[in-house]
Amino acid sequence: MLDLNTKNKKLALQVNTKLAERYPQPAGLLEHTNAWELLVATILAAQCTDARVNLITPAFFRRWPDTTSLAQARLEEVEQMIHSTGFFRNKAKNLIGAAKYMLAKHGGQVPQTLAELVKLPGVARKSANVVLFGACGINEGLAVDTHVSRISQRLGLTKNTDPVRIEQDLLKLFPRESWGNINHRMVWFGREVCTARSPKCLFCELHFLCPACKLE
């Protein structure tokens, strides 16, 4: 008889395979051309839609294309630029603080380790993981957002509700090389199929694996 860990690893393999078939080349939703731009976009995306952030960032990066320019920015001007993302005062303070920190500690470059990224104002584990994989191709962790939490809980891959504990559960189940893509695939799947309300179980290729499936 298979133990729970072995069962979950088998389940994770099936989930990984099915999602990879659906999304062979998944991409993140935040538009960027380098690590700096993705870092800014990720900080702005807290409690805000990716679509809204993508509307704001082109003008933001024309005004402040790098850490040097943003570190010298007036707080009020940054607040005005990002006002529609919500929590704009904290975000503006964090963005300028992050730029100053990177200039002081990393020569103005975005650090490429989780331990250093989470030292930046406004950057927690999820954001750090998004930047590391999305901009650098580094799988140091697995970004856990609402979609990843919901899908992994519904599938029975975790019983935890805390994002950090969910991440630790998933890291044990999925191969390291898949961590970044698992996040992207679950985000797309959560938006298109396994939605928070009224999940589309009839069209879900994972329904036969899912304890939460609503099909008769």
For the segment 17-52, what is each residue's pLDDT rounded down to a tens digit?
A: 999 999 999 999 999 999 999 999 999 999 999 999
Contact 169, 4 (CB under 8 A): no
Q: Which of 9, 50, 93, 145 is catalytic?
A: 145
Task: Please say if the pLDDT value at position 2 is more than 70.
Answer: no
* 148 and 62 share one domain: no
Task: Please say if the pLDDT value at position 4 is more than 90.
Answer: no
- Asked about 145 being catalytic, the answer comes back as yes
- As to burial, measured by CB atoms within 10 angstroms (0-12 exposed, 13-18 middle, 19+ buried), residue 104 is exposed
Predicted confidence at residue 6, as pLDDT, reads 84
Q: Which of 93, 126, 200, 214 is catalytic?
A: 126
* 165 and 92 share one domain: no
Residue-wise pLDDT tens digits, 64-106: 999 999 999 999 999 999 999 999 999 999 999 999 999 999 9
Q: What is the CATH number of the domain that holds 153?
A: 1.10.1670.10
Q: 14 is written with which tokens?
A: 């099936």
Nearest-CA neighbor of 131 among 69, 57, 54, 41?
41
Predicted confidence at residue 13, as pLDDT, reads 95
Total count of domains within the chain? 2
Q: Quick check: is 215 in a domain?
A: no
Predicted confidence at residue 30, as pLDDT, reads 96
* 181 and 130 share one domain: no
Whether this prediction's pTM lies above 0.75 is answered by yes
* 114 and 44 share one domain: yes
Task: Please say if the pLDDT value at position 1 is more than 50.
Answer: no
* 92 and 168 share one domain: no
% of the chain residues with pLDDT over 70:
97
* 68 and 50 share one domain: yes
What is the span of the domain harbouring residue 176? 4-26+142-209
